[in-house]
Amino acid sequence: MIVEDIMTKTVICGQMTDSVEMLEQVMKKAGVQCLPIIDNAAQCIGVVSAIDLIQLHGIQALLRDDVQAWEICTEPVVEISPYQSLTVAAELMVSNKLHHLVVTSAEGLLGIISSIDILEKKVLR
């Protein structure tokens, strides 16, 4: 089984200039735990997770009110090819302490894969 077999292909993204409030609304509406953040050329520049937002709220009083997505996204983006094995995906997640990987090719962003996807499809099947 490879990444392409289980990745989420319809990816909800945030824009680099989105506000924290906008990111939270999009995540809640879409029922997702992270958003790839894309620039004007549709290239992924980072990822904002629910954990990032929780941590941000802990220090919100120290920040200005107009914080944008590009300022809080996790970077560099850890990418994986859709043709890599799930074992390689899991190893990347563990070594980078991540729960999500952005799936890319020469065409750009193709999908996203999470640690839960791997558990459900490979370990708990």
pTM of the full structure: 0.82
Alpha carbon of 58 to those of 36, 51, 52, 67: distances in Å? 22, 11, 10, 14
Here the tokens at position 59 are 């220090």
pLDDT at 63: 62
Here the tokens at position 118 are 């791997």
In the predicted model, residues of the chain with pLDDT beneath 50 are none
pLDDT digits (tens, 9 = 90+) for 63-99: 666 788 888 888 889 999 999 999 999 999 999 999 9
pLDDT at 108: 87
Strand pairing report for 44-49 and 34-38: antiparallel
pLDDT at 106: 87
Q: Write down the domain spans for the chain.
A: 3-123
Q: Which fold has domain 3-123?
A: CBS-domain (3.10.580)
